[in-house]
Amino acid sequence: MTFKALAGAIFATASLFLMTQKANAEMINLVGFGDSLMAGYELAAEESFPARLETLLRDKGYDVAITNAGVSGDTTADGLARVDWSIPDGTQGVILELGANDALRGLSPKESRDNLDAIILRLKARKIAILLVGIPAPPNMGSDYEKQFNPIFKDLATKYDLPLYPFFLDGVAMQAAVQLKDGMHPNGDGTKIMAEKFLPTAEAFVKMIKM
């Protein structure tokens, strides 16, 4: 190989390396942090909500990776216990979805609020953007419980000036055709609907991070 050819090869390799580094630096790393609704209970990995949303965002031209950090059965207390090690360094944004299991188990709304508040503070201390996701208490818990639990998400979004997606199961709740047989979790078609409805909020979140 001539000196000129060798220099050209070195230049090409260096250029490719720099382009790769720039691309990696521009990628937005998100984490879906939640319970079974986030994890994709009984679904293939590609049918989970984070995977569906990542595909939709990429189809829109956003260089985004969404890590699925959902754990089935998690309460807000479980989330608080693992938030520090479940959200890796380099994460720029978290889609925070917890509380459904608290309500299903009739746990104290005050404790749920305090746990979510603490999770938000942990993430903000790391300068990680947060998109808060709401979920209402099931009607069978009674109106008194609903009055205490349901305002939690809006109140915290207002307190910390966070974007809020009010109802994670919008378009899926009470729709048997897009749910598993348990009548609670979305099936593959359900997560597709959820991601499509969530997309405008996610786009705004990504744009906010990029600013």
- Ordered by start, the domain boundaries in the chain are 26-210
What's the confidence (pLDDT) of residue 23? 42
Question: Which residues face 50 on adjacent strands?
Answer: none
CATH number for the segment(s) 26-210: 3.40.50.1110
DSSP symbols for 25-77: HH-EEEEEEESHHHHTTTS-GGGSHHHHHHHHHHHTT--EEEEEEE-TT--HH
Exposure letters 172-210 (e unless 16+ CB within 10 A, then b): bbeeeebbeeeebbbbbebbbbbbebbbebbeebbeebe
Query: Known catalytic residues?
Result: 36, 182, 185
Cα-based angle 78, 76, 107 (whole degrees, multiple of 5): 110
Residue in the structure block whose two tokens are 């216990």: 81
Q: Are 206 and 62 in contact (CB under 8 A)?
A: yes
CB-based contacts of 167: which residues, under 8 Å, 6+ apart?
A: 134, 135, 136, 173
53's enclosing H/E stretch is: helix 49-59
Written as tens digits, the pLDDT of the chain (211 aa) is: 454 544 444 444 444 433 434 444 489 999 999 999 999 999 999 999 999 999 999 999 999 999 999 999 999 999 999 999 999 999 999 999 999 999 999 999 999 999 999 999 999 999 999 999 999 999 999 999 999 999 999 999 999 999 999 999 999 999 999 999 999 999 999 999 999 999 999 999 999 999 8
What's the confidence (pLDDT) of residue 2? 54
Q: Are 164 and 151 in contact (CB under 8 A)?
A: no
CA 51 – CA 192 distance, rounded (Å)? 10
What's the confidence (pLDDT) of residue 26? 82
Q: Name the DSSP letter for residue 65.
A: E
Question: Which residues face 64 on adjacent strands?
Answer: 28
